[in-house]
Structure 1
Amino acid sequence: MSVPEAARARAESLRAQVRHHNYRYYVLDDPEVPDAEYDRLMAQLRDIEAAHPGLVTPDSPTQRVGAEPRADLVEVRHRVPMISLDNAMSDDKLVDFHRRLQTALPGEEPILYTAEPKLDGLAVNIRYAAGVLVQAATRGDGTRGEDVSLNVRTIRTVPLRLMGEDWPEILEVRGEVYMTRSGFARLNAEIEARGDRPFANPRNAAAGSLRQLDPRVTAKRPLNFCCYGWGEVSESPGESQYAWLKRLEGWGIPLSKELERVEGLGGCRGYFDALAERRDGLDYDIDGVVFKVDRLEAQARLGATVHHPRWAVARKFPAQEELTEVVDVEFQVGRTGAVTPVARLRPVQVSGVTVSNATLHNMDEIQRKDVRIGDQVFVRRAGDVIPEVVRVLVERRPAQTRPVVLPTHCPVCGSDVIRPEGEAVARCTGGLYCPAQRKEAIKHFASRRAMDIEGLGDKLAEQLVDLDWIHEPAELYQLTVERLIKLERMGEKSAANLVAALERSKETTFARFIFSLGIREVGEATAQALAERFDSIQALMAARTSDFLQTRGVKGIGQKTAEELLGHLDTHPEEVPPGSLSAWLAGLKVPGLTRPRAEAVAELFPSLEVLRSAKAEQICSNSVRLVEGVGPIVSAHIVGFFAQSHNREAIERLLAAGVHWPAPSGAPEAATGQRLAGKTFVITGTLTRPRDEIKALLQRQGAKVTGSVSKNTDYLLAGADAGSKLVKAQSLGVEVIDESGLGKLLDQR
């Protein structure tokens, strides 16, 4: 029967594609497509060969397992071929497999199966002679593999000598070399810290590690081994797959802790469903479950094809990775103002769910993965988490791709988007104004440590926003009893109590008001420090970075360079020869003192005499905090927040609604009755009274209460179970007092 030319051409095309992907997967350990796409190509090839048997050739990928061994590793010929497994991609396929066995094994009812996870790693054959490991090889093409003996010997889960004494003279065990997810994360962190390109997934990491030419590299990788079968054995393995595997375990060979013996189709289904539910909680990747007829005599009767045994099947999970296209990248604003890039994808089925969006986390992640609009990407969905782009298929990148650009303005409210130096996340500065942040802004504003609006809890705040009654904090003060009683489960008394609480909250402190605004990283202690530094909200709104930080020294010069320069000047008292000071300084060849930096030093210090009398801190680049707790990042948040007209207008409306606080009464030292004026306290440990109450007491007496111990701390108030703050205070010589000691301080006249 003649074969249509179109079918012949299609078969050749499929063979070429599968061979290419085999090479990428088995030889280079760098697959171009996810497993699901490879499985589809192979299935299409099998179907066309089944429809036209004349197309089957000895070198078709359907007639062997993988690819040729790498030329730079020694070839090993397997004494017993390492054939592959047939796949069941659906429950119907598993039912078909079970029915075929029932037909082929009359009287074998119920059929017992061994069940175990299908690990995602690299298959190896490990040979023991007289109980000692003598050789290890990869599967390769199923007949010939690569010798990786020295590398396998470095894997701690592989015994170099079998335990016990009743093992066969010759024993080959077969299993998977894999890497746990936690080990993979640690390895990639180390690789990225060196500035190298990380592995794409644990399978690639395991394969690349096992096939290193230098075993010392392999020894540093967190590899594991799990046995699932055997090859040549010099004695009969008995009657049961499960029993023989358990015997191997007794000799020190690691098995899967999930290995079980199940009964019939129902047992297989139950095992598969249970493992699928726990899949995401495992510390290793699996892509399915392997079921094998347990009775070895039945296995022998069923036999095998050139490709797979007829007595085993791999029931695959739905694919967790798929290949698709990045159609666009948009930016979403979260409840805390985080501006997150989201990839809009060509819709694709992943784990049984249609995925059209995937998170890109932040701009650092986009740059690390080199994601561009128009790219072909791997998309992964594990469990119920938001799908993410795993990596880009750079080799398939079209010429017309576009880079992803962080927006300068919030896509929701139009406020500036800032990304402080040293932070990965960009944020909207809209704060009180931005609709995306509205619920969190209202909740924070009303919280006990902010404006302390009793009765306005999280659920009520969300309800008010959802009903579109409240758009910014000032509108809370427009609520009336008549309007509130329309809310579900809000009686007249509750409504009246809330309105009264709103009225009481108008009288507050400057520190509480600053804290209530929700400026990023401005906590209670920082808000208190700002209230002490600035005498009005208008002064704080007008502040610039220079009002928080005083920069000193020369940019680019560190402490070591400054000390070496001063040390040189101390030991070389010569005068500056004719010419400029900058040229003379550059000629000293002090490490780190480049010509531009020497010029900056000369500009800062007008003469050599002035420079000689300087301290290293005056030369090296550093900054002095004018407000405790406010460094470069926090000052950027503060300035960015008040730079938005929306936020300034929202504050003005709060003031117009009647929010106020006492005017400053001058320096704390001048205040009558403030016994602790000018003193700085830190509180730690378990105390007999609420910490907030003690903090308020200290502040009423003129003290400053901070969150961390430093050389500027006067007292550490320590209760029971005081920890690291107590240790630090003792090391700095800070006076430590208990509540009794605090009482004595307050009683002093």
Structure 2
Amino acid sequence: MEKKNLKFHIIRLIKILYKIYKLFYLKKKIIKLRKIINSYNYRYYILNNSNILDYQYDKLLTQLIKLENLYPYLQDKYSPTQLVGAKYKSFVFFKKKNHKIPMLSLNNVFNENDLFKKFFFPINKIINKSSFCCELKFDGIAINLLYKNGYLVSAITRGDGIIGENITQNILQIKNIPHILKGKNLPKILEIRGEIFITKKNFKLLNQKKLNQNKLFSNTRSAVLGILKLNKNINKKIFNLFNFLSYGIGFINKNFFLNQQEILKKLKYYGIPTCKHTKIYSSYYKIVNFYKYFKKNRHLLPYNIDGIVIKINNIKKQNIFGYTNHAPKWAIAYKFPSQEKLTLLKKVNFQIGRTGILTPIANFNTVNINGVNISFATLYNINEIKRLNLKIGDNIVIQRCGDVIPKITNVIISKKSIKKRKNILIPKICPSCNSILKKKKNNILYCTSELFCKAQLKAYLKHFISRNAINISFIGEKLIDKLVDKDLIKNSVDLLNLNNFTLSKVENLGNKSIKKILKFLKKKQKVTFNKFLFSLGIPEIGIVTSNIISFFFKTLEDFLNTNLIKLQNITSIGEKTSLNILNYIKKKHNINIIQNLLKKIDIIYPNNISEKNFFYQKKIVITGKLKFITRHNLVNQLMILGAIINTNISKKTNILIVGINPSSKLLKAIKFNIKIINENKIIYLLNQINNFEKY
């Protein structure tokens, strides 16, 4: 009897332990999924540089939603399933502003099966008959226009759905956005939502005339986003090339409308441009045919679209379905598949990156996809070559992932091409330093020479001088390439110790440039602890991780004397990252580099900011153009001194720094009796505190 009880308790204990293990595993999986999705969100919404196909992103998001629904106690209000886009990152030039009603995103589907399953089926279960408003989905930038008593008072980007960037001054330049609404009985407060875009014709004109300071844009969306977020030295003619079309409203002080069709008609009456191709259908098959028509004929439109949007027409029925934190349940985007082109693979080159991994680069006959000429694409690693069974002379299918990144998706083998196919020769030695390549567990080849390999050294030094690291001015990527190729520098210490004799050996580098470089390098660099850690280029240590580490360790010495237990106690630091850190700090060569860097760099620790300095804990706002110092460097210096940098003036603001042509912030500062300091005064004060020099 006792043996039976013991057996029962052992089985019960095993079941409990298994549940605990399963919960731990699921939690880890959910956290990892959130991290991956957030990184993709950041690239898409903030960097405007997506690196994943929409259907792949949707697959990840669906997986996360399923896990969170199955285990609601693992849900988190900061999960990407609960937010719109990426966490808001403010741009220096534009102040933040809240939307009166959240500006949500849309859920996407890419095939007819998902359209019915995810959208029409749930609706039909509750509402038997309903009409739908079908609209084109423009490939531009979403904007929220706020009108008060018929007057345009602000224009805000989507941002994170709650807070956007106030880009009113730039929006006012766009011809077809009315500054004053037409008609009678205008709402007192009205948010109008729509898309800023550029036509295909105007996009060509933009690049042909090089109106944007000789810059060429790769696609229409990047052109719109790039120019809208410029705040100085803008040729106003550029904005004449932009257009706006509205697709709906946000906040309104009274409930004016019964359906979406009525909203669009009323907006047109107010003088707001809307799309003429919008249709109302009750039939599912007519909606699908609407999609198929524009999928086939989108090239005939004067602007780019990437799908259609389907909305329940009736407002009351919309309210029945409501919203998630991420998107409305009563609307969906039915997107077109990414465009593909067939071309011929000519050759494959191999490159070594900062981490030493061998990356194949496919070169093929140039193809034009959505107005962009493409002649090469990364193959990520040698496993991709094997997966595709890729060979020189193959007919390959090129797809622009997310309409941005080119990718080889398929190989078309015909009877004619079989004889012409040639094997791709995988290097056994590093194409840069000729050292023998080694294999990781996943068969990925990498160079073990680290910074003794010129390719890795170049990539690392470019990382080292970047804004998020040491932020070295007057030294660019081309100069680094020349310095490394001529064996004039071997590491980051050599870079900081550059002298006139060394720089004079570089071709096409004038005396003026040399003087600027030496003047900058002469002063000791002041760098926050997190940026210093990021500058070291430790694998897996990105901007976010370096920031987390900088607050965990009090000093660099503590960091260099750490161990595996301490590292794994840090939030978000896993075993792989911990081992990378330990591997880095165990090498004498790396420690020597750090010690020599400290002769040229002062590290500012979060807990070592002097409370006695003039700027400590002061709320500071900057307005106007600065002549003697870049805004980025000024903000960086003030933050080092413990200042709090804000974008908006309020009664709690302590100081307003004023440059040339200040905005209305100056009037507000005078009204609130806030201390006003000009550029000369701020430089003088910074000089007094830390021997700050003009840039």
* TM-score category (smaller protein): 0.3 to 0.5
Larger Rg: 1
State the TM-score, normalized to the length of structure 2: 0.47
State the TM-score, normalized to the length of structure 1: 0.43
